[in-house]
Amino acid sequence: MMCNCKHGSAIMRTLALSALILYLLCVNAYAAEELTLWHSYRGDEKLALEEAVRSFNASHPELQVAPLAVPHEAYANKLTSAIPRGHGPDVFIFAHERLGDWSRAGLLAPVTLEEKELERYYKSARDALTYEGKFWGLPLALKSAALYYNPRLVPIPPKDTDEMLKIMREISRPEQGVYGLAYEAGSFYFHAAWLFGFGGYIFNDKNEAELNAPANIRSVEFVQSMMKERLIPEEPNAALVAQLFNEGRAGMVINGPWFAGEISKDVSYDIVPLPIVSATGQPAAPFLTVEAIFMSSKAKDRDNAFEFMCYLADDAAGLRATTGRQAVALTQPLLPSGKQIDPLAARFLLQAPYTVAMPNHPLMRAVWEPAAQALRKVMRGAAEPTDAMNRAQLQLRVLTRPAPPEKSPSPYIALLLLIIVALIVWLLVWMKRHEGWRDMRRAGTAYAYLLPAALSMILLLFLPFIVGTAVAFFSHHEGEFTFVGIANFVSILTSSDYAVNDPLSFYFTLVVTVLWTAANVFLHVTLGMALALMLRHKWLKLRGVYRVLLIVPWAVPNYITALIWKGMFHKQFGAINAFLAWFGVEPVSWFSHFWTSFAANVATNTWLGFPFMMVVTLGALQAIPADLEEAAEIDGAGPVRRFFSVTLPLLKPALLPAVILGSVWTFNMFNIIYLVSGGEPEGSTEILITEAYRWAFTRQEQYGYAAAYATLIFVALLIYSNGTRILMKEKT
Amino acid sequence: MAELRLKFIEKVYDRKVRVLAGITMDIADGEFLVLVGPSGCGKSTLLRCIAGLEEISDGELYIDGKLVNRLPPKDRDIAMVFQSYALYPHMKVRDNMAFSLSVRGMPKDEIEKRVAQAAEQLGLTNLLDRFPRQLSGGQRQRVAMGRAIVRDPKVFLFDEPLSNLDAALRVQMRIELKKLHQRLKTTMIYVTHDQIEAMTLADRIAVLNGGLLQQLGTPAELYESPANRFVAGFIGSPSMNFLHGVFKRGERPSVAGPGFEFFLPADYAKIEGMPDEVTVGVRPHQLDPLGKRHGTAQAKVEVLEPIGWDTHMHCLLGDTPVVAQVPSEHIRGLKAGQDVTFSVFESDVHLFHPQSGYAIRPGQPVRAE
């Protein structure tokens, strides 16, 4: 019945439109519930996770999970900085080891599960996620090392270490680079299997670290004996282990599930649990890492978060065990129809009962460095196990030094304000005296043009600098910053914790840094200049080709250079020792002694840095008029005299800034030291900048101490560059 | 002091570019020889070959009877003054001058004595402790010469040393150079593109063009008896006028062309192989507008350039532009656009072969190529 057709249809249209709008609004509002999930999965695990998330989202239209893959390196740091500020995820996947730190820092929310739910997970997984009586996340997967073996070399895998040693003695032929067992023996992570197998422990009953417990020492002696019999390769690293196994030169490898992805297709392998330690009758028990999904304390909706966590840990376990190839923590996952648990995962599950959960003790992270140093020292034959572990224990105690007492910031702030006021007053007076205001008004537009650049400089340069320097006045401990005044500086400069000739002392490192800089700059300049002079000669054919080739070292990214050179300095498989062997020189253990390790660093950095000096010299040489050298030639000067009396003095004005730049860069050359020698032996080849890095990131995050180091580096370089500038002025 | 002998000196670059095509000449002991020629003629290259800064591709060079092709510069006992002075900027004047001596290990007091002596000769005594950048162009040039003088070499080599100076300074330095040569009496080889410098300084001049020696002779010889058209046109300023004419034998030989007829000395009639057509050369100041000489040339005045005592008359003779240099008082009242008749003495007329460019003179064979 259409009464009033026109009006009627208008009303209908309006009603329909409003209904549509209302519906859209409701739908949007309805779909607004989002849950952010962070993870650092790659490969199969990532595929399985994404599939799980997809099916969860499909079945939960009102709750959408948004996963975000975070690169692994800075993942932990990102979490610790983002969560407290509310920018972090609602839930995230991580290994359990930081649990202690994070729960004390208030980053996590505990979860509660009924007893019978809990029992569906492996005990070791549950234990790993327990801290101070509470349960902190849902376990997803178990990761540990196990024993890989090549059936062609090792038909029957060993049940205990006596059998293992027997097999190793049969197989190993060190002159040909064939070994019964290859694994990263210098890494504490892998050594832990032997440590626990010998009945050792890291933290004693009083919950203190005790690296030099007798059983620990015996485990190190065990590895030392294998080393002495040349049954395991020297200076093993991950790349070497993989290479040996892939070339069929390693019978057995101790490694984790990730290693399977590095094995080439034509190498057959199988995996069994690690053997029993014959001396104790206990199984070698590697570290167990439990990967779990945690809830952020700042999660928007805890119930929703928990719902997804349960889904992923429980319902999606089957998917993760098959597509994701994970050794899931759920004892009986529900598998997708027709699929079996991934064989790789199944093998590692066999090891799971014989593992020790990585301690979530806050001090655990400080253990790695001293323990690894001790192991490597023993492996090189530079120390006996007892001494090495004792020193590691000592180092640990020193590295976890208590924070300096808190001070009141008032006097410092007062001083700062005073300085700022003085600066402003001085600036105003200066402006007045030099008619700066008038100049500024006149050049108004010029200043406007400068403004963007000035702003970016302030934001990118000055602000971080000021913040960095300010941090040096604080001490950072477990997420909290306390003001300590100049205590950090005092402790560094007075070397209160270490003797001056201990590698950890500021002065030791300073001397090494200065030596490092001087040696490099000298070699760069000499080599660069020599090559530039040689490239000048017209009779040298293919000059252009040489020039390009000689620039290449500079063009290659320097961390690649560093890694390649490090490989070349490997004692057993490195190119340098192979080359020296031609001349009958015994293989040198480059990183066992300070001077050889230092030389390795210098060699690498020289290779990297001479092109710069060469290019500068080439340019400066063009500016020298040719007839000056001809006049010198006619005057009777030979090539050497010509160089020193004519060429060099004229090169100086160009070289001097290059040398200053080069020395500042070398002083702070992090990559080479960190990647080539890594500070070996025992941190003696560290330079100031790498030392500062370690204080910040490997020694309990002592940011304040590290910032003080950085500030001191800045001051040192400031003095140096100004000093040379003044010297330059005097000369000319 | 030494004599030099150059025998067929050749210099080739990259096996293709021949900069010196076989130079042969003897330079007497104590002589001031000037190498002159247009840009690219090879004069600087020849000088550098003598110095030893360039390698001689072919030929022989003897200094004082010794073959020096393979000797490096420092063993040839020569000193060189560069166009850009090439003073060591980071050394004081004193050290610049002393450098070569200290390289040879001369004792310090001997060096000081020599440097002081040379500085005195060149008026540099007050400037000994200055740096080159604190000196004027002329002072720098003198330091460069001082550096050469202290060496007491057998031969001095100069590579266009006055080119970078302004005109007035150039004149002054020319005189100083001449005085220097008179005092030292050392063999000097001097390169320039300026023919006035060549004429005023040289005992003998070597004119080069295209890597070949065109003529070697005294300034007078080159001026009065140029060996070919190139030398005739190069030496003398303003340069010689060239016309095309036809030779007429007879008792009074003459050469005539559109607008002119000049007479020649009688022995020109006896020259064998004289081509019918010749190039005629007359120097500007040999054209006389007052009708006091012989022969005629009808020309129309285009531009008059008074240069003081003389005037340059730029005229058109037939189709050819000619220049006459005439005392100004002889042509008072003459204006541009007017006609003028020139006359020339017989002895002032030069003949050149139209193809080869060689001069045609009685008593020497006509060279057609």
What mean pLDDT do residues B109-127 have? Answer: 90
Does residue B365 fall inside a structural domain? Answer: no
The confidence band for A456, taking pLDDT boundaries of 50, 70 and 90, is very high
* Nearest by Cα to A271 from A258, A250, A254: A254
Amino acid at A659: V
Among A1-10, A190-199, A207-216, B282-291, which stretch is predicted with the lowest mean pLDDT? A1-10
Res B195 pLDDT > 80:
yes
The nearest alpha carbon in chain B to A539 belongs to B14
**How far apart, in Å, do the first and last CA atoms of chain A sit?**
106
Same domain, B111 and B209: yes
Residues of B in contact with A650 (CB under 8 A): 89-90
A411 has pLDDT over 60: yes
Give the pLDDT of residue A702: 82
CB proximity list for A98: less than 8 A, separation 6 or greater: A76, A360, A365
CB pairs under 8 A between A and B: 57
**From the list A634, A645, A646, which residue is nearest B79 (CB)?**
A634
d(CA A613, CA A610): 5
Question: What pLDDT is stored for residue A1 in this prediction?
Answer: 45
Average pLDDT, chain B: 90
Residues B86, B12, single domain; the answer is yes
Q: Are B272 and B363 contacting, i.e. CB atoms less than 8 angstroms apart?
A: no
Element (H, E) at B231: helix B229-234
Stretch A459-488: mean pLDDT = 85
Name the pLDDT band for A28 (thresholds 50, 70, 90). Answer: low
pLDDT of residue A626: 87
Dihedral angle, C-alpha A117, A121, A126, A127, nearest 10 °: 130
**Secondary structure of residue A318 in the 3-state scheme:** helix
What SS3 state is found at A83? coil
Whether residues B192 and B283 share a domain: the answer is no
Q: How far is A639 from chain B (nearest CA, A)?
A: 12
- The residue-averaged pLDDT of B99-121 equals 90
CA A463/CA B289 separation, integer angstroms: 90
Residue of A481 and A27 predicted with greater confidence: A481
Percentage of chain A beyond pLDDT 90 is 35
Query: Cβ separation of A634 and B74 shorter than 8 Å?
Result: yes
Q: Which value does ipTM take for this structure? A: 0.82
Confidence of residue A539 (pLDDT cuts 50, 70, 90): low
Q: CB–CB of A637 and B86 under 8 A?
A: no
- What tens digit of pLDDT does each residue of B135-147 get? 998 899 999 999 9
Do B110 and B191 fall within a single domain? yes
Among A298-307, A535-544, B255-264, name the one with the lowest average pLDDT: A535-544
Distance, in Å, from the CA atom of B259 to the CA atom of A210, rounded to the nearest integer, reads 123
Alpha carbon distances (Å) from B73 to A547, A635, A666, B69? 30, 8, 43, 10
Contact A283, A197 (CB under 8 A): yes
**Residue B366 placed within a domain:** no
Q: What is the mean pLDDT of residues A414-434?
A: 88
Whether residue B133 is found in the same domain as residue B206 = yes
Q: Considering B205, B228, B251, which residue would you say is the last residue of a domain?
A: B228
Give the C-alpha separation, B27 to B157, whole Å.
Answer: 13
CB contact under 8 A, B103 and A649: no
Its sign, for the CA torsion A8, A14, A19, A24, is positive
* Overall domain count for chain B: 2
Per-residue pLDDT at A517 exceeds 50:
yes
Shared domain check, B171 and B32: yes
Chain B residues near residue A623 by CB distance under 8 angstroms: none
What pLDDT does residue A6 have? 58
With a cut of 60, say whether residue A32 has pLDDT above it: no
Chain B residues in contact with A645 by the CB 8 A cut-off are: 88, 99, 103
Residues of chain A with Cβ-Cβ distance to B87 below 8 Å are: 631
Instruction: Output the CA torsion sign for B288, B292, B293, B297.
Output: positive
In a domain, B312, yes or no: yes
Tokens of residue B234, six digits: 């190069």
Q: Residue B89 and residue A631: Cβ atoms within 8 Å?
A: no
Q: Do B73 and A634 touch (CB under 8 A)?
A: yes
Tell me which residue in A627, A638, A645 faces B82 most closely, judged by beta carbons.
A627
For residues B198 and B271, state if they share a domain: no
Please name the residue of chain B whose CA is at the shortest distance from the CA of residue A632.
B100
Residue A526 has pLDDT above 80, yes or no: yes
Cβ of B86 and A627 within 8 Å?
yes
> In Å, how far is A732's CA from the nearest CA of chain B?
10
CB pair distance less than 8 Å for A636 and B104: yes
* SS3 state at B39: coil
DSSP A127-191: HHTEETTEE-EEEEEEE--EEEE-TTT-SS--SBHHHHHHHHHHH-BGGGTBEEEE--TT-HHHH
Q: Final residue of a domain: which of B228, B253, B268?
A: B228
- Is the CB of A633 less than 8 angstroms away from the CB of B104? no
- The overall average pLDDT reported for chain A is 86
pLDDT tens-digit map of B29-55: 999 999 999 988 889 999 999 999 999
**Is pLDDT above 70 for A8?**
no
**Residue B368 in domain:** no
| Same structural domain, B98 and B14 | yes
Subunit contact B99:A630, Cβ cutoff 8 A: no
Judged by CB atoms closer than 8 Å, whether chains meet at B82 and A637 is answered as no
The band of A2, judged by pLDDT with boundaries at 50, 70 and 90, is very low
pLDDT tens digit string along A613-629?
A: 998 998 899 888 888 98
Give yes or no for a contact between A72 and A259, defined as CB atoms under 8 angstroms apart. no
CATH (domain of B343): 2.40.50.140
Residues of A in contact with B84 (CB under 8 A): 625, 627
Residues B131 and B250 in one domain: no
Token duo for residue A721: 């560059």
Range of the domain at B328: 238-360
Query: Tokens at residue A563, please?
Result: 């890694």
Give rounded-to-5 percent helix, strand, coil for chain B.
Answer: 30, 35, 35
Give one DSSP letter per residue of A206-224, joined into a string. TS-B-TT-HHHHHHHHHHH
Phi, psi dihedral angles at A381 (to 5 degrees): 85, 20
B9 and B150 co-located in one domain: yes
Q: For residue B367, is it within any domain?
A: no
Q: Which residue has the tokens 């929703």?
A: A304
Q: Which chain B residues touch A if contact means CB-CB below 8 Å?
A: 51-53, 72-74, 78-80, 82-84, 86-90, 99-100, 103-104, 147, 151
All residues of chain B having their beta carbon less than 8 Å from the beta carbon of residue A636 are 74, 100, 103-104
Q: Which residue has the tokens 């190039």?
A: B279
In a domain, B233, yes or no: no
pLDDT at position A272 over 90 = yes
pLDDT at A177: 87
CA angle B188, B191, B194 (to 5 degrees): 125
> Which residues on chain A are in Cβ contact (under 8 Å) with B52?
634
**Last-in-domain residue among B181, B201, B228:** B228
CATH number for B83: 3.40.50.300
Mean pLDDT of A702-715: 90
- Alpha-carbon distance of A278 to A289, in angstroms, equals 25
B246 in the same domain as B216: no
Whether residue B284 sits in one domain with residue B206: no
A651/A27: higher pLDDT = A651
The region, left, alpha or beta by phi > 0 then psi within -120 to 50, assigned to residue A445 is: alpha
pLDDT at A371 over 70: yes
